[in-house]
Amino acid sequence: MTHPSTLGAVVGLDIGGSKTRGIKWLNGTAVADTSGGSANVQNVSRAEARRNLEGVFATLQGGSTARVVVGSGGIDTPEDANALTELIQPLAPDAVVSVVHDTRLLLAAAGCSTGIAVIAGTGSAAWGTNGEDEARAGGWGYLLGDEGSGYWFGREAVRYSLERVNCGLRPDELTKALMKSCGLLGPEGLIALFHGDAGREFWASKSSIVFECAASGIPLPWT
């Protein structure tokens, strides 16, 4: 069998909840590396996913592409994989496109054939294999789970701050830091902001506030 790299370039895509990263390889050497917006159709519309993919592929242009290997969140069924393949195929019409859940990228990237991979980004999931059997946990999306993800920490910080309001308590250090980061004068403003235009990427970024408070020794509700 002829290795794909001898026939043309190989493009790898890592599609997360916040961004899409693409790397183009030619004869075993990375020749282009770029990032764009998320193309996970559970996070964005198909139209937005298509635009973001077009932007990534436009940067990776040049020469024929023999294969596109894609790892993405939200790939739970063959239908999910086919739907994403349909978005990518027109951008690399001569390529063989392979789509898997993004947890499966981690062991391969580490050069391992067995082990357990854990993702905790905008969303969260775990996948493992012993070489014969495989299993996955999580990766259900923010409405059903994704515990321990960046978005989950951001949302829980909001819930915690609003619960203190309900109990008649003054803002503590975590709530004050969250309010400052969001440009709010009081925790009540978190309600409108959360249900407004601020999206999952925005709230996932607020997880850093939780981590900074934990690192400084401030007691948190999850510790």
- Residue that finishes a domain, picked among 68, 83, 102: 102
- Model's pTM, two decimal places? 0.69
For residues 16 and 81, state if they share a domain: yes
Q: CATH number of the domain at 34, please.
A: 3.30.420.40
Predicted confidence (pLDDT) per residue in 109-166, tens digit: 888 889 998 888 878 889 899 989 989 888 888 888 888 899 999 999 999 999 999 9
- Looking at the domain assignment, is residue 39 inside a domain? yes
For residues 12 and 83, state if they share a domain: yes
Q: Per-residue pLDDT for 217 more than 90?
A: no
For residues 14 and 95, state if they share a domain: yes
For residues 25 and 82, state if they share a domain: yes
Q: pLDDT > 90: what percent of the chain?
A: 48
- Looking at the domain assignment, is residue 53 inside a domain? yes
Per-residue pLDDT band at 27 (split at 50, 70, 90): confident
Predicted confidence (pLDDT) per residue in 130-146, tens digit: 989 989 888 888 888 88
* Contacts of range 162-168, beta carbons closer than 8 Å, 24 or more positions apart: 162/187, 162/188, 162/190, 162/191
For residues 95 and 175, state if they share a domain: no
Q: Per-residue pLDDT for 213 more than 60?
A: yes
- Residue that finishes a domain, picked among 102, 120, 142: 102
- Residue that finishes a domain, picked among 102, 119, 138: 102
pLDDT of residue 43: 76
- Looking at the domain assignment, is residue 85 inside a domain? yes
Host domain of residue 74: 4-102
Predicted confidence (pLDDT) per residue in 29-73, tens digit: 889 999 999 898 877 888 999 999 999 999 987 667 889 999 998
For residues 98 and 154, state if they share a domain: no
pLDDT of residue 169: 92
For residues 89 and 166, state if they share a domain: no
Q: Per-residue pLDDT for 3 more than 50?
A: no
pLDDT of residue 99: 93
* Under 8 Å between Cβ of 84 and 118: no
- What are residue 138's DSSP bridge partners? 125
For residues 22 and 96, state if they share a domain: yes
Number of domains in the chain: 2
pLDDT of residue 88: 93
- Looking at the domain assignment, is residue 144 inside a domain? no
- Looking at the domain assignment, is residue 127 inside a domain? no
- Looking at the domain assignment, is residue 36 inside a domain? yes
Please, which residues have CB within 8 angstroms of residue 108's CB and are 6 or more apart in sequence? none
For residues 94 and 163, state if they share a domain: no
- What are residue 69's DSSP bridge partners? 12, 98
Average pLDDT, the chain: 87
pLDDT of residue 68: 93
For residues 176 and 89, state if they share a domain: no
Per-residue pLDDT band at 223 (split at 50, 70, 90): low
- Looking at the domain assignment, is residue 117 inside a domain? no
- Looking at the domain assignment, is residue 31 inside a domain? yes
Phi and psi (nearest 5°) for 93?
A: -60, -25
Q: Per-residue pLDDT for 177 more than 50?
A: yes
